Amino acid sequence: VNDSASVTEDATPNTVTGAILSNDILGVNPNTAPFVAGTYAGQYGSLDLNSDGTYTYTHSRVEDFNFEG
């Protein structure tokens, strides 16, 4: 199942949170993260991805944004 979340312009708050690993199956070594935690700036906002798989996306532009991963 793909992860998804959305933020609409002028929404308050203009953030969305979630967890990218909650519906995933880890491989042979469950201690190996399949992603790199950090803060990523994008065209429509920024993504704070934590080492435990949780995230916060902050929308910064006026267009609608829909995240699917």
Cα separation, 58 vs 45, whole angstroms: 5
pLDDT number for residue 39: 96
Confidence of residue 40 (pLDDT cuts 50, 70, 90): very high
Torsion sign over Cα 19, 20, 24, 27: negative
The mean pLDDT of 37-53, rounded to a whole number, is 91
Query: In terms of pLDDT, which residue wins out, 25 or 57?
Result: 57
pTM greater than the 0.75 cutoff = no
pLDDT number for residue 33: 63
Taking CA atoms, 19 is separated from 4, 57, 61, 63, 68, in Å, by 10, 11, 23, 24, 12
| pLDDT over 70 (residue 34) | yes
Peptide bond into 13 cis (omega under 30): yes
Query: In terms of pLDDT, which residue wins out, 34 or 67?
Result: 34
